Structure 1
Amino acid sequence: MTEATRRLADAGVESPRVDAELLLGHVVGRSRAGLFTLDEVDDDAAARFGALLDQRADRVPLQHLTGRAAFRHLELAVGPGVFVPRPETELLVEWALERLTGLDGPIVVDLGSGSGAIALSIAHEHPGARVTAVERDPGAIEWTRHNALARAGKDTPVGVVAGDMTDPALLGEFDGRVEVVVSNPPYVPDGAVVPREVADHDPPLALWGGPDGLDVVRGMLSVAERLLRPGGHLGIEHADQQGTALPALVRAHGGFTDVEDHVDLAGRPRFTTARRREG
């Protein structure tokens, strides 16, 4: 394991030891803790482990190699064509769940759902919520549907809709009825330098948001205002450097009040929330 860790570290992987252990655990069917009692690795497993190390050293995302991504209380299927959910987004889900506390059958819309991480977590943790996941990318929505189907029978079903979060006619049947609209939209400014795992493997439609990263949000705000009931809640994830610009954009729109920005566990600006104006 020492050599595998060194190999990934030399390749610039941020968490080489953890990644090496997770890859070995994936090969031998054990958790990281279970590796402590692993006596030996047979030749076939060693060869598969080596091949996965090669790919990880070439900066293929760990989650693409294992086919799974942990998110809050769920494990989701991921792979080429879908954005890998990040731990930071779990805080946005926590905020949304707090807004839903005590409500029976609230309507929730997740715009730009990707793997379905946000939508499925809300459905799992607030039984009875009527959650709809919207995804535009034809490749990504196959993962949304796959994960939603995998959860069917375990949680309240999540509806999956192919659509553009900036479409003025999107989900017209929900106009003025939605309790929470939540989104992790594409917000990376064009030309920004991102890790190879992101640049080479995350789908472009999930990343790039125009010169300042906020073009998609500009188009989405009117859709969110239309969908939300008066007093309903909006939550939007953003990049570290957008902690001032995105709240200002939401305020300037005019349809929202109580605009507030929130930091992640590392103290970095992470998501903006607001309420639809009443009256």
Structure 2
Amino acid sequence: MKRQPLRLAILEAIRILEAAGVESPRTDAELIAAHVLGVERGRLPLVPLVDPPVIDAIGKLVTERAKRVPLQYLTGWAALGPITVEVGPGVFIPRPETELLLEWGLALLRGRTNPIVVDLCTGSGALALAVAHAMPDAVVYAVDSDPHALAWARHNADVRAEAGDTPIRLYSGDVGDDTIFAELDGLVDLVLCNPPYVPPGGELPPEVLDYDPPQAVFAADGGLAVIRQAVATAARLLKPGGGLAIEHDDTHGSVVPALVTARKVLTAVEDHPDLTGRPRFVTARRL
């Protein structure tokens, strides 16, 4: 069988994905090729020729991606900061935008020894596990109410622990439960939260609407129901000088900071843009 240029296969993949309306056709085409070849994306130029079965395998994944199946479902993983986690049906796929929230939290923890961190609405466990990876002496708690998400989080936690990261403490619970983590009241250095926050009926791409679990995407009260609960829980858990970072919809750029400000024990409230410049997460400190 005659070997074929990988570059031509990637160009064809880009063409197909562009026609399908995929947002980042070149990136996705190259990541699919890298996944099939088992190499990092940056090393693709070092693989000029490939065997026909490789071309076929790339083509099959590109066909699925053109149907708007999430890229992460096809590769089986998603990245958040310095780590990757496994994802698939039943769990929310971490987004690059959340890395900025993670960076803010890690900056807050710098210089603290044995900090206590709580990740509300943990989903795949990505945020909690990224903190545990970056801060080996941190004691990291994570909670979610969805059993399917928790199964993914437990799997990812086991994988990260086997890789040598500090294990996280994973719980089943509702962020609206005012007794959750009651033993940590006033002791927590950092609360992170990427809750469901899209207003019901909001327009979303097929990758989100057809694949992400609805309960991890949409929230009542114009997308604010879980955010309200998370802010209340964070205000209870945080120690003086502790920090809160919570993600929100890009239509919430003024309302969520106002919700946080209404908690008199929270100060230094600031809203932050995502990678595209849209309002995306709010931060605060506990008095």
Q: Secondary structure at the match of 1:118?
A: helix
Match of 1:117 in 2: 126
Aligned letter for 1:121? A
Provide the C-alpha distance between the structure 1 equivalents of 2:158 and 2:140, rounded to a whole number of angstroms.
Answer: 14
Please say which of residues 262-271 and 177-186 is displaced more in the overlay.
Answer: 262-271
Residues 146-195 of structure 1, C-alpha deviations (whole Å, 9 max, x = no match): 11111115222111111111111111221111111110111101100001
Could you tell me how far apart the structure 2 residues matched to 1:155 and 1:31 are?
22
* Shift of residue 213, structure 1, vs aligned partner: 0.9
The answer for unaligned runs of 5 or more in structure 1 is none
Moved more, 108-117 or 228-237: 228-237
Match of 1:88 among 86, 94, 97: 97
The alpha carbon displacement at 1:39 in A equals 4.2
DSSP 3-state at the match of 2:153? helix
1:58 matched to 2:67? The reply is yes
- Segment of structure 1 superposing worse, 101-110 or 219-228: 219-228
1:239 is matched with 249
Which among 185, 195, 199 is matched to residue 185 of structure 1?
195
1:16 and 2:16 matched? no
Q: How does 1:89-168 map to 2 (within 5 A)?
A: 89-153=98-162, 154-168=164-178
1:224 maps to 2:226: no
- TM superposition shift of 1:268: 2.0
Rounded to whole Å, the distance in 1 between the matches of 2:42 and 2:226 is 42
The answer to whether the Cα contact below 8 Å between 2:143 and 2:170 also exists between their aligned partners in 1 is yes
Matched residues in 2 for 1:184 and 1:219: separation? 12
* Residue aligned with 1:205, SS: helix
Mean Cα displacement is larger for which, 217-226 or 236-245? 217-226
Q: Deviations over 1:3-32 (max 9, x none)?
A: 211111000001112211211221122222
User: What 5-or-longer segments of structure 2 have no aligned partner?
Assistant: 1-9
Whichever residue aligns with residue 203 of structure 1, its letter is P
SS at structure 1 position matched to 2:117? strand
Are the equivalent residues in 1 in contact too, given 2:193–2:230 (CA < 8 A)?
Answer: no
What amino acid sits opposite 2:123 in the alignment? G
1:194 aligns with 2:204: yes
Q: Identity rate of aligned residues, in percent? A: 53
TM-score, normalised relative to structure 2: 0.92
Partner of residue 182, structure 2: 172
1:274 maps onto 2:284 in alignment: yes
Q: Distance in 1 between matches of 2:174 and 2:102?
A: 21
Q: 1:174 to 1:25 in 2, by over 3 A?
A: same
Give the Cα separation in 1 of the matches to 2:122 and 2:144. Answer: 5
Counterpart residue number, 2:55: 46
> Does the 8 Å contact 2:199/2:221 carry over to 1?
yes
1:69 to 63, 78, 83: 78
CA 191–36 in structure 1, closer or farther in 2 if over 3 Å, else same: same
